[in-house]
Amino acid sequence: MGNMGVELQSTLAPASAVVSAGGGVPIGTHTYAVAWQDAFGKTTAVGPTISAITTSGQQTVTITPPAAPAGAVTVQFYQDGQLAGTSSNQCVPYPVTQALVYTLGFVPCTKPTTTGNALTVGVSSAGFETPSFFLTGGGFKSTTTGTFTANRAQTLPDVTGYIPVTSYLNSAYDNATRANGPSAPTGR
């Protein structure tokens, strides 16, 4: 089965490309762009570019990505139309908020990339991806969404008949402080 869903768009240029001292980026004008990856590892088309001009001794460029679109889980950087990273072996996707400090003369990445088939919302044989989803029933809607700080795998329980939806669970058992009164023998 292939992927099915809504295409993830890469519509913004990097937020900034700041030139600073040091580094080995060749002197001249360079363009920088980003592409986004979805939860399935598929990449968008490369977005619009931003330019930076390096001069002698000012050959480090820090590229800051724009705000990530819904559905993006990582970002890839491009210099002058080619996939870029911290070395030819480090052209890996980066966290969506991480800037790339580029200090190299151009070293082509050895990792091949395909572009243009990332999804904002999608279904494939690998699973389901979406920034939020709705469960409906009884005339009501329950929204599930999140702001995550790391990749995690979650498994919903199927042994108790309920799914915890908050960090607090009501319980039917007595607690250790006996706040509801002790159980005393009746003396019979």
- 186 lies in some domain: no
In tens, the pLDDT along 108-144 reads: 665 545 556 776 666 666 666 677 766 666 666 777 7
- 185 lies in some domain: no
The predicted pLDDT at position 28 comes to 95
Which of 8-12, 19-23, 44-48, 57-61 shows the lowest per-residue confidence on average (mean pLDDT)? 8-12
In tens, the pLDDT along 95-105 reads: 999 999 988 87
In tens, the pLDDT along 26-73 reads: 999 999 999 998 887 888 888 999 999 999 999 999 999 999 988 888
Q: How many domains does the chain divide into?
A: 1
- 187 lies in some domain: no
Closest C-alpha to 72, from 152, 148, 15, 155 = 148
- 184 lies in some domain: no
Q: Is the pTM of this model over 0.85?
A: no
In tens, the pLDDT along 155-180 reads: 666 665 555 555 555 555 555 555 55
- 106 lies in some domain: yes
Which of 8-17, 32-41, 82-91 shows the lowest per-residue confidence on average (mean pLDDT)? 82-91
Owning domain of residue 168? 1-173
